[in-house]
Chain A
Amino acid sequence: MNIENTQSQMRKGILEFCILSIIRRGEAYPSDIVDEMRAANLQILEGTLYPLLTRLKNADMLTYRWVESNSGPPRKYFSLTEKGNTFYQELEATWKELANGVKALTSRQDSLPNSPEQPITN
């Protein structure tokens, strides 16, 4: 069991949710998404973002539009579909549940009611 693995599992679980929550606010360019996430102190590699976007797009959660760019090739701007929106709502509900639950658990300081009197040392 190593900490990095657990951390990356945690991050991976919420990655899609985070991306959808950014795109929800309007048409987004992938590097903008990366910037947004980094600004929120969530590390992501651009290289992992592209396949994720493509997967979401292929699952009809996202759609995109070509926009001419003055610095390089035309850009793909992503936006949520109807389906993506409901998907996001569900994820949000789940996230709130989880966040509340985790918060409730992690914020408690009292000891467990049924724990043995002598603390086990090892």
Chain B
Amino acid sequence: MKKVININFQGRVIPIEETAYELLKQYTESLRIYFANEDGRNEILNDIESRIAELFSDRLKKGATCITDDDVNAIIANMGRPEDFEAADADLGSQPQSAYSAQSSQQNNSSSQTGQSTVPPQGFYRRGRFSRNADDKIIGGVCSGLANYLGLDPAIMRIVFVLLFGALFWIYILLWIIVPSESMTSNITKRLYRNPDDKVIAGVCGGLASYFDIQAWIPRLIFALPIVLGIVGGSFNAMFWDWDWSFGPRIISSGLGSTLFIVYVVLWIAVPYASTAAQKLEMKGERIDLNSIRDTVKEDLQGFKSRAQNWGNEVKQTAQQYGSQGMQYGAEFGRSAGNARSGVGNVIGIIFKAFFLFIAAIIALALFGVLMGILFGGMAVFPIKDFFLEGFWQNAFAWLSLLLFLGVPIIALITWLVRRIMGVRSQNRYLGYTFSSLWFIGLLCTIFLFSAFFRNFKNRAGVEEQIAITQPANNKLYIESVGATTHYYSDDAFFDWDGDAPFYGLSHDSVMMKNVRVNVVKSKDSLYHLYSVRFSRSNTNSKAKELAQRINFPVTQKDSLIELPRGFAITSKDKFRNQQVMIVVEVPIGKKIQLDRSLEEFDWFNINANRRRGFNVEWDNDDWGNSLGWTSNVEYVMTRDGLTRTNDLDPVELKEGRFKFKIKDNGVQIEGEGTINTDSTQFKKHKGKTKPADEKEDETVSLRPHSGSVSTDVSPLLMLSSYL
């Protein structure tokens, strides 16, 4: 029993079975798509339709009460389907037959063979048992089989499995083991394509829209909105906070926007264009909704019920089946699992392989993570590029390096993954060539960038300046650094450096450097002198000098206290060129100096970039005592031979009962140190190479001659006795 409806077709009323009408509609729609780009499109369609109408009238005249499925199928077989036109149109072996055309032409073949009677409507397929798909698989064919069973695109199934990797991992393995493998023709009724008829940029949104059966503006809005917001927001930022630098990266790097941007580009590359009519039909496809899935499952459950009734019978079969399945697995996994032949052995083999895949996946993910990390790290470093780079070219190289050298491999990787998941086989090698050459350009840019970057540090120049000071009254000079100890982190700071960073704070347009060093040397006269030497590097000497002069490092004096700033600021206009400030204190012989602990905050480092030594950075941040000749918070006196520590030890050291002494006279130097046992006033520790040359009362002190030997005309060891 069929429902018959009347339609107005080419100006005639035609009684037609509803199912036949659906077939007709599908057919005309497929023709409409096929001829979409043809010049006389409407005319051709009209001609065909009127011919069909004529055939219908013919049929009705011969006494048929209505047009049936068979009639329509016969007419369609006579007229030919778009896929058949395509076969007639096909260029030599250029297009691989898509799953759709394969399926449809199969139907047509059968129809032309059997006469005209039993052509199933388009999109109809046999819903078989759930089995793994042997023909279309990435790992075990589980996703593909499941998708086939549910009538979904395998790509969706795969994406679900990848997204829920952790949860579905064991399910996948289980299905892999349990479900038999079977070669099956694809029944995909719908695939994701880019839509050439409805495109703004690349047809990605149009394709998505027809895939999900929604209006095209929805995906368009989703993709465009973050970018639009980014641009608008970026310009607002630029206006109100004068952050023109952030305008560029903001659009691309702002979370959602960047993700969608990458998604779009990847889809653009990975998803094929629906260029043939068959692909366009596949793109529109049969509507897949929850109902159709539910129907599938319901149908199968009913089948299951009936099967459960003759369960006893099946147990026997299953047992046999397992045996044969085991053999099957043997064939399938024998290679990977070694010599496993039995069913159990193959289960182990599968698990083995699964773990191998699992580990491979983890490695791939880690690699991916590293690449992403580098990219986003690069983006994070990007704002401070203004401190390093100058001029259009260096900036351009930096951008290109970031996008091409780091970005391209990521895009390539994602593209490869998506294509793999979507089951798209790469038809052309140009994609690979394009990626390789873009990456190569990126590599060149990176090289240029680094060479330009190193050239910025080629020459060093210094500006020396004497700072006038008044002589301290009590013959002792204190030096300390003052200023807020707060780090200049603002909310747009990019790094969370710990205290070891060579600068205090960093914002988008200035950085507080602490590349300062205090050297203490002997004065030529009887006065204290203070000099500041400011260094900078650049690609030319004169530029370096200019930059050095721009360093602002004001030194102030309060009586005997010399106050140095905590650091100096360089702006993004000045650029970072390893600016340094060296403070040289000249101390006259016999006068004292003490350097405050606050000076230890300074960090001194040198960046070298010349032909002979290449590029290197020397840090001088660990042992101040060794490299500078002084320790903080210790009183020194200038002697003829240089800076000498007075025997004032740190209060901390004194408390512990440690002592130290150092005597220099006439080229002989005696140093010693030890610990006083506070209970017995006996020295407990001995240190030194020679046996005591000097003894006082009962204490033993070990002495170590520095140069020469201890001679008799050593002057009295005043310092030692004064301590004791």
List chain A positions with a Cβ less than 8 A from chain B: 1-2, 4-6, 8-9, 11-12, 30-31, 45-48, 50-51, 53-55, 57-58, 69, 71-73, 75-76
Contact present for B79 and A46 (CB under 8 Å) = yes
From B11, which residue of chain A is reached at the shortest CB distance? A73
Q: Are B87 and A50 in contact (CB under 8 A)?
A: no
Cβ A8 vs Cβ B80 within 8 A? no
Q: Is B654 an interface residue (CB 8 A)?
A: no
Whether the Cβ atoms of B54 and A46 lie closer than 8 Å is no
Given A8-B90, A54-B43, are A47 and B85 also a contact pair (CB < 8 Å)?
yes
A31 touches B51 (CB 8 A): yes
> With A6-B92, A51-B38, A71-B58 given, is the CB distance from A46 to B44 under 8 Å?
no
Starting from the known contacts A47-B48, A73-B12, 8 additional A-B residue pairs (CB-CB under 8 Å) come to A5-B92, A48-B84, A51-B40, A53-B47, A58-B40, A69-B54, A75-B54, A76-B47
In the complex, chain B residues whose CB is within 8 Å of the CB of A51: 35, 38, 40, 44
Q: Can you list 27 A-B contacts (CB < 8 A)? A: A1-B92, A1-B93, A4-B87, A5-B92, A5-B93, A8-B87, A9-B92, A12-B88, A30-B51, A31-B51, A45-B78, A45-B84, A46-B80, A48-B84, A50-B47, A51-B35, A54-B39, A54-B43, A57-B40, A58-B39, A71-B58, A72-B12, A72-B53, A72-B58, A73-B12, A73-B53, A73-B54
Residues of chain A with a CB closer than 8 A to B92's CB = 1, 5-6, 9
Q: Check B675 for interface membership: any CB of A closer than 8 A.
A: no
Report whether over half of chain B's contact residues are helix, strand or loop; otherwise say mixed.
helix
Residue numbers of B with Cβ under 8 A of A are 10-12, 31, 35, 38-40, 43-44, 47-48, 50-51, 53-58, 61, 78-81, 84-85, 87-90, 92-93
Q: Which residues of A contact B44 (CB under 8 A)?
A: 50-51, 54
Residue of A with least CB distance to B43 = A54
| Top 9 A-B residue pairs of the complex, sorted by shortest distance between their CB atoms | A45-B80, A72-B54, A47-B80, A72-B57, A54-B40, A47-B79, A73-B50, A50-B47, A46-B79
How many A-B pairs with Cβ below 8 Å? Answer: 84
Nearest A residue (CB) for B92: A5
Question: Given A50-B48, A73-B10: A45 and B54 within 8 A (CB)?
Answer: no
Distance between Cα atoms of A48 and B87 in the complex (Å): 11
Residues of A within 8 A of B85 (CB): 45, 47-48
In the bound complex, what is the Cα–Cα distance between A66 and B678 (angstroms)? 128
Q: Which residues of B contact A30 (CB under 8 A)?
A: 47, 51
Give the distance in Å from the alpha carbon of A2 to the alpha carbon of B95 in the complex: 12
Q: Which residues of B contact A48 (CB under 8 A)?
A: 80, 84-85, 88-89
Chain B residue at minimal CB-CB distance from A53: B47
B399, chain A: closest CB distance, angstroms? 48
- CA A45 to CA B11, docked complex, whole Å: 25
- The answer to whether B40 and A55 touch across the interface, beta carbons within 8 angstroms, is yes
**Cα distance A8–B89 in the bound complex, in angstroms:** 8
Tell me the complex Cα distance, A11–B81, Å: 18
Neighbouring B residues of A69 by C-beta, 8 Å: 54
Minimum Cβ distance to chain B for residue A47 (Å) = 4
